[in-house]
Structure formats: structure tokens, C-alpha cells
Structure 1
Amino acid sequence: MNRRTAIRLMLAMVLIPALTPLSANEADDQPHMRTALGHLEAAHTAKAPLTSLRAARKALVHARPNKEGQRKHAIGYVDEAIAFATTGDKAKMQEKITKAISNVKSGIARAR
């Protein structure tokens, strides 16, 4: 293989993947939001939900902020759920977890 052919091959290896459009699933994939959703659902049924709530908050903070405010609202609900879990108000904690789950699902659907 001569040098010119090798250069063309290397350029093709770099440019073709860069120019190939992402599939719908790859373009809108929200791994941090999906991780947060899993942690929130676990917290909903956990006897000791604080670990799951903190993990959900961390995942939400790391998610891209492209969800029309849904991510931000979910973080607020998780913060409130953590506060209620700390004080022992399980009913209010459950309410906030439910709202956070709703916002995360909505955020996944609205991601741009």
C-alpha cells in the first residue's frame, strides 16, 4: 500500500463515522436520566431510601440540561425527598419521589 492510499484510508476511517447521522435511539439516549429513574424507582420501595435518592440526584446533576426544565424540577423534588427522608416523613418523601419520577420520564421524552 502506498502512502497516498494509506492517507486516504485513514481519512475515510475518521470522516465516515463523523459524518454518519446517529440513529434515533443513539441521538436521544439519556443514560444519566435513565440511571436516575432506576434509582428513584428503587428509592420508592426501599426501606432505607437515602442511598438511592442521593444516587438519583448525582445522576440528574450529571445529565445534560436539555429537557425543557424537567431535569431541574426533578432535582428539586429529589432534594425535597431527601429532606423528608431525613426527617422521617415517609408520606411526603413518597410524594416527592413520585413527582421526580414523573419529571424524569418527561425529561427523557423532551430531550433535544
Structure 2
Amino acid sequence: MIRNISSHASPDIKNQFIAFVGPLGETLVTENDEAFLTEVVGTLANLTIPDIDYLALMSEYGLVDWIKSKLKPDSANDELSLNVVVLVGTLCADDACAEVLAKSGIIQILIELLH
């Protein structure tokens, strides 16, 4: 339900999630339940809010390495992988994040997922 609410276009609705971005980011790197993790990733991926400091989120929780660990071509969880790709797209809306992700080799990983 939370993920669906986060997908609404209304800025008033999306802005209510700002206070929870840190805990959601922390959950990405601590959660082992892939079904729940998929929901958290999907929720964060929906939060296209200019007021979120995505670069700080990536740095604080080591999300570049986390993203790389989840984008494996032989992953058993396609839904999680898809949501991680969508999250990468959301992060890349921030120019600084896009630069960090491009320099990290994630572009090559995304291309390999296409094969």
C-alpha cells in the first residue's frame, strides 16, 4: 500500500515521504526479506522529489555498491532487479548522482542485464 501511495503524482503526497527517506535507505542495506525489500526499493524509486538529497542518501548508505550487488544477470528475483533499475533512473535525475553512478561502472552492468 505504501508503495502505491508513493506513486501518486501529487507533490503534496510525495512530500510526506521526505522524512522517511533515510530510514528507507537504511532498510535497503539491512533488510534480507526480498519481498519486503522489493517494496522498499519500489517506494524509493517512486519518490521523484527535487528536495531529496539523493547523493547524500547514496553516500550514507553505500548505495552504489548495494545497487551493483543487486544487479546480477543471474538474479533469481527479477522483480527486485527491475525495481533497482527504476531506482537507478530516479537517482540519475540528480546530475551529481548520475555522474557518480556513471563512473562506478553501473552503465556496463545495466547493458549486461539486457543480454
**Normalised by the size of structure 1, how large is the TM-score?**
0.32
Larger Rg: 1
**Normalised by the size of structure 2, how large is the TM-score?**
0.31
